[in-house]
Structure formats: structure tokens, C-alpha cells
Chains A and B, each alone.
Chain A
């Protein structure tokens, strides 16, 4: 399939970004490992069990949590269910189309899901109502409202912030509502490789010209819990280790400053 005009990047823009990144600068004046301004508003949707609106620079996403009763999977009768879904609304960017979820939307939902699932953030074993018959199903729905790059970080931070403020509506079954059982707080940080430089939290322009992308999720102990490598380019061992170090450092700061943990 041929690319649409919007998807073809001006060649000299790529050269320019590669040049200034090699000099240690970035197009918006940030340091190479600096995130854009991050604002999280939790309980943005009062009727949901939990929600968060995230602004990462000009990227804006809305995450909603729904907790409903459902049947457990036959192979895991003793645990609740976690489902993640991402919607890339056409109003967020000219390159988003309506219709079934695109490859990017599926990848986004899966990467966010993996960060939360593999970090064991939610204690799913505590979400059982009746073993093998009824459990709580946690839905994470992410809506992209404005696209200016790095949806993975905006969505995963939003999902974590929303889950931290979610409750299980146990009053539906005659018990008392209780907060979602949380055991860990993962934070995902994404890097883009531009030329031979790795930058954290790429914006749209940087994402357009990136040759490789790496997302690293870490928990509060500084353990790496999930990773995703994207695009066709390669990443060296040194770049990987330095990305992991940055991810732990920035993750700690976000956990303290934004998530209050």
C-alpha cells in the first residue's frame, strides 16, 4: 500500500533532526532524556469506576476504567480479568482513520496492557467473586484526543493513574465498594532513535523521523517489567542499557511527582 502524502516526511526535516540530535539538542529545546510537561487529572469521568485525563505536551488522552462482573477464563478460574483497548479517534490526527482498530492502536493497547499485567500491578487473584463462576473484569479504555507523539507513555501513565484511583463496585453484589487491589506501580518510558541518538519521550516530529522505538516499563523497585521494540531500526546494547537507566530514573520521578507514590 502506498503511503498518503501526510505520512511521507520531508527529507530535509529528517536530516535536520538527526543533525541537531547528534549535537545534543532537540527541536523543542529539551534535554535528550527530558520528558515534556506531564499533567494528569484523575477522576475526570465521574460515572466511571476510575478515569484519568493525561496531557503530555500537546498529546492528550483520556483513560476510563470500568469494573464489571463476568465469567473467568476456564484456565484461570481463580483470578479476575484485565482487558485493554485503545481508540485512535480521527479527530486526534489527520492520519487516524475511522473503522476497525489499526495496527498501531492494537500495538498501543498491547504494550500498555503488558506493562500493567507483567508488573502484577493489579492483584487479579483478589478479584474473584465466586471461584470458577464469577469474577470482576477490569476494562481499560483509552481514547486518543490529540496526537503529538508518544501515545504509549501518555496512555500507560493515564491507565496506571486511573487504576490507582479506581474502586470495585462491590455494592452491586451486596458488599461494600473497595479500592482496586494494587501491588505495584509500573511506569513506561518510550525512547526514539533519531540518527544515532536516543531521545526520551519523542514528540510527533521526532517520532516521524525515528528509525527505532523502545518502550521500557519499570516498577517502583527499579525492576524492568516489560519492554517493546518498534520500527525497523536497530538499537545497540549500550543504548538499551542507558535507556533502561533513564527509564528507572524518570519513572521514579513520575511516580513521585505525578502519581503520588
Chain B
């Protein structure tokens, strides 16, 4: 279902007519009218209208799956960089490990890379992370590539179509974090190909028919 407002580019403070949709992310209301917070593209999802920013820092949302790195170790928790506006905290109780009176350093060290989820964001904007869910783990081996956090949904594609195409045609293991950190594992030349493809998707994110073009490039490069 495509509406008139779908894919329209808006500027901060620009009035948006929701056309019966509910107010989603990136939109505020004032005096009965709705305005955009950011420069971005309007997208509708499940009867909600959202403004997807064209670029920007990652803003954590509950249950997002992100890739973070350990930047400091505290007595009972780790401080993680998740490329957000504030550091994230991972408490030992939110991990599958038990702290048997050992130093947390022995479990995760500074510069270790972890795939985790955002468990809770408190009122004072503390970000608590968790490792207790299917698929969440410490990442080992492989390579890290950074993309714009706002382009992650484009890399996933509709129902995962884009990322699955990449995985199938290159055989590289891909783990996407909502914060724009991408973990790749596979032979060096294939990882390089995926890296180039990710940069290409980032650049062409606003165009349509991208999955087919990516498929063509990957098939030609094989």
C-alpha cells in the first residue's frame, strides 16, 4: 500500500499530513499539527508514519540487536561502545556467564566484540544491554565494517532479501547490528567483495531496484 506521503523527503520542522496514519518515530505534534524532527524520508509501516533520517548517529531503541565493543571493565559490568550518544552497560547478570568470584576481565576484555541487544533504556538515558537471547554472543574471528546506522534497514532489505542475497552469492557470514556495525567472516577476497557491496548499498540507498542490481554485480564478480 503506497500513500502520497510515502518516500517524500522532509526537512526539520516541515509540516506532515499523516493521512490517517499514526504518529511514529521522528515526528512531533504541536497545536494539532504534525512536524518532522529530522531531515529524512517518510516511510509507513503497520499504520504508522515514520521519518527515517538520511544520516545520523545511532539512537538506541529497546530490543535492537547491536554489535558493541568493550571499552572498560567495572567490578560487575562492562562498559560498551555501541556507537550511540551514551555508552552502554552490560551487567554480569544479563549474560549467560556466572561470575564465580573471578575478574570480569577474564570473560570479556577491552576491545572484545559482542553481539548483544538493548535491554532497557532508563529515564536517565542509561542504556542497559543484554546477552540473554537466542543468537547473542561474543564474536570471534572475522572482520568489522562500519556503515551508516540509518542505512541498516536498506542492507537488510524487505524481509531480509538483500542480506540473504549477499550471504547466498558470496558465502560470507554476515551479522548486522542496528547500530551500523557489520561483522563479516569468510575468505579475504569474498569479505572484500561484501565490503564494497555494503558501501555501494549505502551510497545508492535511496534508489529503487537495488536488490536486483546488487545481485547482478555479485553474479558478475563470481
Interface string of B65-81 (1 = CB under 8 A from A): 00001011000000001
List B22-55 residues whose CB lies under 8 Å from chain A: none
Say yes or no: A12 contacts B141, CB within 8 Å: yes
In whole angstroms, how far apart are the Cα atoms of A7 and B189 in the complex? Answer: 27
Count of B interface residues, CB-CB < 8 Å: 21
**With A2-B72, A13-B144, A16-B143 as given contacts, are A8 and B192 in contact (CB-CB < 8 Å)?**
no
In whole angstroms, how far apart are the Cα atoms of A63 and B113 in the complex? Answer: 39
In whole angstroms, how far apart are the Cα atoms of A20 and B192 in the complex? Answer: 11
By beta carbon, the residue of chain B nearest A14 is B111
The smallest beta-carbon distance between B173 and chain A, in angstroms, is 13
**With A10-B69, A12-B142, A13-B143 as given contacts, are A23 and B111 in contact (CB-CB < 8 Å)?**
no
In whole angstroms, how far apart are the Cα atoms of A9 and B71 in the complex? Answer: 9
For residue B214, CB closer than 8 A to chain A, the reply is no
In whole angstroms, how far apart are the Cα atoms of A192 and B87 in the complex? Answer: 31
User: What number of A-B contacts does a CB cutoff of 8 Å give?
Assistant: 48
For residue A173, CB closer than 8 A to chain B, the reply is no
For residue A11, CB closer than 8 A to chain B, the reply is yes
The smallest beta-carbon distance between B180 and chain A, in angstroms, is 13
**With A5-B71, A20-B188 as given contacts, are A12 and B87 in contact (CB-CB < 8 Å)?**
no
Cross-chain pairs A/B with CB under 8 angstroms, 17 sampled: A5-B69, A5-B87, A8-B111, A9-B111, A11-B111, A11-B112, A11-B113, A12-B113, A12-B140, A12-B141, A12-B142, A12-B144, A13-B144, A15-B141, A17-B143, A25-B188, A25-B189
Measuring CB to CB, which residues of chain A are less than 8 angstroms from any residue of chain B? Answer: 2-3, 5, 8-17, 19-20, 23, 25, 27-29
Measuring CB to CB, which residues of chain B are less than 8 angstroms from any residue of chain A? Answer: 69, 71-72, 81, 87, 109-113, 139-144, 183, 188-189, 192, 195
